[in-house]
Structure 1
Amino acid sequence: MSTSAGFRRALKSGLQAAGLLDLARLGLHASSLVLDLRRLPSTVTSLPWFVRTWRQYEALGGDGLKLRDAQPCLTDRGESAGAASGHYFHQDLWAARKVHASGAAEHVDVGSRVDGFVAHVASFTEVVYVDLRPLEASGHPHIKARVGTVLSLPFADRSVPSLSCLHVIEHIGLGRYGDPLDPDGSLKALAELQRVVAQGGDFYLGVPIGRERVCFNAHRVLSPQTVLRALGELSLVEFSAVNDAGDLVRDARPEDFSQADYSCGLFHFTRR
């Protein structure tokens, strides 16, 4: 018997023995319970609630419940609607507002979140999205995908007037996404991004900042000074940041974040 099959059988037996879930009656397979170990305590304590609501639904005359179709969502009712804070929330809105204010007729993005920043920008202008991995067809007329890598962008020198790369370069060279290992991966990515920024163009960069280190193999954290030195051909227009608490700090000072734990630097550069 495979390890996974044994686990499912043990889980099923344990739940039945505990009287938490009558799996035999409900016909609900343990494999349909997607376990997140961080939520395991609340998941287990919610099992009786699931059984109770199932029976209440049936008692109300609800029919059509098929046991094989059951998909228990055991913790959603106790969670919040979401968090209007953190790196991605503030970063994506910060950069999208800047692109909108610039009036760019076309914007090039390298590897940022498609269902976040890219979607925001596609609501008001054309987006050329570059990533090593092919993008599944979105059907959105404003999103054009191009296969490429941040280490070798498919653009001529100084040819891109509006460019972004958000929460991407910190991963380069660590092998997390199947890319070759390279201790200088992030610096090489910055050099390549700098190469394509047009004269008078805008470049929006989001990257983890603070006490410089490699958190192998998830990401790097760069000091703001490292970023500024690496992009020495460009001029800094604005520096804002998402601090360690997840709050946006507008018009911040880079030096104030040199010893942060895990903040997000939001850099707006131009080539003068």
Structure 2
Amino acid sequence: MALLTPVPLLGLVGLPRYLANWRRLKEKAPNDLRLADSYPCLSDWVQSTPFDPHYFYQAGWLARRLRASGVSAHTDVGSDVRMIGVLSAFIDVTFIDYRPLSATLAGLRCEAGNLTGLGLPDASLPSLSCLHVVEHVGLGRYGDPLDIAGSERALAELQRVLAPGGRLYLSVPVGRERICYNAHRVFSPRSIVDALSGLALREFSLVDDDGRFIENADPTAAAALDYGCGLFVFERRVPHAAPLPLDSEFSAQ
């Protein structure tokens, strides 16, 4: 079904309109339009601006939390590069990706790295994000080595490098657990919390199957979704600190 993308089909529906508009403009400016210069955009005539709810909401979600956190530097592993470029306008960002980003921008440092082995010291990063990335690890989609336990290793590595008192901002597809080879995995929120047992869940938000953003959602409700987006804020507890309220509530369920 992934091969039967609806975009080309929508384009065919728009072809008569495209040809009719071409004729109208050609009549008004016969010397300005050349067929060789045409660039058909056949699927953009819609009633509202289309967007990917997962990527749109997770970018706004992270930006607001980083701004409120007051940190001056942040590290991200593999998230959407358009978001990273914007974040670097107000916070110094180190961006690590398996396929390193070749870009130069003030406030942005780009490095190559593997999420299952970042090569960073233990407990070294006070502010860390990884949005819509962990689900891909080990499935070979981006040329990375095949590893059926790739996501578990990636989560363990994120946990390892997070500093005491530091925050990990994480997003993954949530709902019915499965592997959609070779695109991604889908997790239950419970599985993510269990994999990061050394961290405390501070906050959970959600984009549901209808593309609605639900801030401070109930993590247990996400398990009934098909392909939602879970937005987690984890924190490494300072030794002897009391559990955070949401972490205690979720652990008891």
TM bucket normalised to smaller: 0.7 to 0.9
1:93 matched to 2:60: yes
How big is each residue's C-alpha offset from its partner over 1:106-136, in whole Å with a ceiling of 9 and x where there is no partner? 1100000011x31332121111000011212
Shift of the 37–257 alpha-carbon distance from structure 1 to 2, 3 Å rule, reads: closer
1:246 matched to 2:211: yes
What is the CA-CA distance between 1:41 and the residue it aligns to? 4.8
In the aligned structure 1, how far is the partner of 2:111 from the partner of 2:79? 13
What is the CA-CA distance between 1:155 and the residue it aligns to? 1.7
The within-5 A match list for 1:176-195 is 176-195=141-160
In the aligned structure 1, how far is the partner of 2:228 from the partner of 2:191? 15
1:260 pairs, out of 219, 222, 225, with 225
Match of 1:72 in 2: 40
In the aligned structure 1, how far is the partner of 2:63 from the partner of 2:117? 24
8 Å CA contact 1:150–1:189 kept in 2: the answer is: yes
For structure 1, the 5+ residue unaligned runs are 1-35
In the aligned structure 2, how far is the partner of 1:87 from the partner of 1:146? 25
Shift of the 60–130 alpha-carbon distance from structure 1 to 2, 3 Å rule, reads: same
Which secondary structure does the structure 2 equivalent of 1:238 belong to?
strand
2:74 pairs, out of 78, 85, 107, with 107
In the aligned structure 2, how far is the partner of 1:259 from the partner of 1:48? 42
Structure 1 letter corresponding to 2:50 = G
1:118 pairs, out of 63, 84, 90, with 84
1:172 pairs, out of 133, 137, 147, with 137
8 Å CA contact 2:100–2:112 kept in 1: the answer is: yes
Using structure 2 for the length normalisation, give the TM-score: 0.85
Match of 1:63 in 2: 31
1:198 pairs, out of 134, 140, 163, with 163
The range that moved more, 212-221 or 124-133, is 212-221
In the aligned structure 2, how far is the partner of 1:209 from the partner of 1:99? 23
In the aligned structure 2, how far is the partner of 1:202 from the partner of 1:40? 42
Which secondary structure does the structure 2 equivalent of 1:145 belong to?
strand
The range that moved more, 244-253 or 97-106, is 244-253
Structure 1 letter corresponding to 2:62 = A
8 Å CA contact 1:100–1:121 kept in 2: the answer is: no
1:127 matched to 2:93: yes
How big is each residue's C-alpha offset from its partner over 1:194-214, in whole Å with a ceiling of 9 and x where there is no partner? 010011111100011122111
1:43 matched to 2:43: no
For structure 2, the 5+ residue unaligned runs are 238-253
CA radius of gyration, larger in: 1
Shift of the 37–254 alpha-carbon distance from structure 1 to 2, 3 Å rule, reads: closer
How big is each residue's C-alpha offset from its partner over 1:14-71, in whole Å with a ceiling of 9 and x where there is no partner? xxxxxxxxxxxxxxxxxxxxxx862445433433433333333233235243332221
Match of 2:192 in 1: 227
Shift of the 67–227 alpha-carbon distance from structure 1 to 2, 3 Å rule, reads: same
Match of 2:49 in 1: 81
Structure 2 letter corresponding to 1:67 = L
Structure 2 letter corresponding to 1:114 = V
Which secondary structure does the structure 2 equivalent of 1:258 belong to?
helix
8 Å CA contact 1:160–1:196 kept in 2: the answer is: yes
The range that moved more, 195-204 or 210-219, is 210-219
